[in-house]
Structure 1
């Protein structure tokens, strides 16, 4: 187990090196790109396309090959927490970057805060193991597509993630291509980002504690608690999703404030995808016999995403039934 964990940790730490080495080489040579390095000249003039190119080869192709070799697509989940940090630093350090220093520093700091929160939650949930398992949705698709999964996984797991991640990080590009002075909208966006991160952190922590308590009860052959409806989960069935969405929509406000409001499209698509995931998660809950009835009552009384007071009328019906 320790050897397996060390191997996956090594792979995860080494896998972004091709993109990092290439970008550093580009930074060192961009000044004479037009004369001696025509490809570097293209990289200089097309920062957004270059980000997509690096993502395609280093994530879509390389991660996919590793996933085929290991028969496990675990790494894309981990790198969901890392790629936005890499992108924000990429946009900030690109030679064409035109930025307000304060806005850039705040967004970089907030992105690191978001990443640390999500990375910690990932490893805590995975019991501090690297690549122990892949996302349950990938497992279901693996069974669904059978022998065709090897090539379908390239599009379903990796290429689709490029669309989502590059799209949702569009505000980071806008922020580093405009030097408009900091104003009240930036302050509002920063506060909303922090609130979103805090809500997601506490929601994930409450969920983790709930799962741990149930695991201890199972070990004691004691009845488990069928549903989490305390703390933030009393006011929302998915407060972690709400916090995550608040973070991304607040980030989009930064882009809107520098005149690139259309870049909310990536955030909007991500919200639609998360809405679909919400449906899948709730269907999965209802398939578990020991918690189905409790979860149905929970659905009737509690808001889906946006925290709100529980329905007293529906609660009373649930209690009387």
Structure 2
């Protein structure tokens, strides 16, 4: 059995313990069993979600990552966990929600997940676990022999905090039954725009990378920098689209009186700001694109799409 198939089967089977436990809990809860365990699960939906995440994701994924010497699975499950949480919060006995709002959020989360999953597999050439995030690889080198235990906190525990945090609006949506209003429509529109922007930005980047690969194989000079399409107006339109999606969910939370749910998206935005700096430093280290990328930085907005500098201003920078 090939590695790709093994990893595919592993990725499909790995969440089954949590899913099985939750379905068992629902069965016994619906049949009015008074076990202290089921009572605790009924009254603590957020804590239960975190407990299942810690055991099934943090511990199981970490052990598998150590055995394979590759922490690839958490990247894939970034695209899956919000969908699982949206269904979990909507079906939990504690749930009290407006059916329209809850179903719309579930549908939007599915659309976001399909977009991100497609982008992930397209980038990985439709392989399961072919490689891990380049940042993990750099940390592996940085921490050396201590990486085996540090990875548990940097790769998994930190991502639990982040993932559960940015999904707080999904929890809020399923905790209050308030009639649908115009702000829900605005939140839906913002989420859809975010998903669309991220999709087209990722597609344009994929096409750019694919063409450069062909140029390299043909011995033709590659294009040093992508500055067309959405990338003409933003240096990181894919990041902008992703952030727009999460802040659209925050509008849902704010609209039902849970503005505090913005904390997860705020932390996520700060992380994206840091990643933006790291990615751009990495780009500038590649000699063949250093000059063009510096010009690109001076003429193009970082995240929010905006018009480039005028030709006069742009030419002024090119003199240096």
Normalised to the residue count of structure 1, the TM-score between the two structures is: 0.98
Indicate the SS of the match to 1:307.
Answer: coil
Q: Alpha-carbon deviations, 1:4-38, whole Å to 9, x = none?
A: 10000011000000000000000001146663x21
Report if the CA contact (8 A) 1:242-1:306 is conserved.
yes
Indicate the SS of the match to 2:2.
Answer: helix
Which moves more between the two structures, 163-172 or 24-33?
24-33
1:108-123 equivalences in 2 (<5 Å): 108-123=106-121
Match of 2:25 in 1: 26
Distance in 2 (alpha carbons) for counterparts of 1:235 and 1:318 = 17
Report if the CA contact (8 A) 1:193-1:247 is conserved.
yes
Match of 2:283 in 1: 285
Match of 1:185 in 2: 183
Among 77, 81, 95, the alignment partner of 1:79 is: 77
Report if the CA contact (8 A) 1:185-1:257 is conserved.
yes
Among 102, 105, 121, the alignment partner of 2:103 is: 105
Match of 2:215 in 1: 217
Q: Alpha-carbon deviations, 1:202-230, whole Å to 9, x = none?
A: 00000000000000000001000000000
Match of 1:126 in 2: 124
Among 198, 201, 210, the alignment partner of 2:199 is: 201
Q: Alpha-carbon deviations, 1:135-176, whole Å to 9, x = none?
A: 000000000000000000000000000000000000000000
Distance in 2 (alpha carbons) for counterparts of 1:186 and 1:87 = 20
Q: CA deviation at 1:39?
A: 0.8
Report if the CA contact (8 A) 2:198-2:237 is conserved.
yes
Q: Alpha-carbon deviations, 1:21-70, whole Å to 9, x = none?
A: 000000001146663x2111100000000000000000000000000000
Q: Alpha-carbon deviations, 1:234-289, whole Å to 9, x = none?
A: 00000000000000001000000010000100000000001000000000000100
Indicate the SS of the match to 1:178.
Answer: coil
Q: CA deviation at 1:314?
A: 3.6
Report if the CA contact (8 A) 1:300-1:314 is conserved.
no
Report if the CA contact (8 A) 2:295-2:318 is conserved.
no
Report if the CA contact (8 A) 1:210-1:228 is conserved.
yes
Match of 1:91 in 2: 89
Match of 1:9 in 2: 8
Match of 2:270 in 1: 272
Distance in 1 (alpha carbons) for counterparts of 2:282 and 2:305 = 22
Distance in 1 (alpha carbons) for counterparts of 2:56 and 2:80 = 14
Match of 1:151 in 2: 149
Q: Alpha-carbon deviations, 1:169-190, whole Å to 9, x = none?
A: 0000000011100000000000
Report if the CA contact (8 A) 1:252-1:263 is conserved.
yes
* 2:318 is aligned with 1:294: no
Distance in 1 (alpha carbons) for counterparts of 2:32 and 2:22 = 13
Report if the CA contact (8 A) 1:33-1:39 is conserved.
no
Report if the CA contact (8 A) 1:33-1:40 is conserved.
no
What is the Cα-based RMSD across aligned positions, in Å?
1.0
Return closer, same or farther for 1:128/1:32 CA change in 2, 3 Å cut-off.
same
* 2:301 is aligned with 1:303: yes
Distance in 1 (alpha carbons) for counterparts of 2:288 and 2:32 = 64
> Where do 5+ consecutive residues of structure 2 fail to align?
none
Report if the CA contact (8 A) 2:234-2:305 is conserved.
yes
Indicate the SS of the match to 1:99.
Answer: coil
Q: CA deviation at 1:317?
A: 2.0
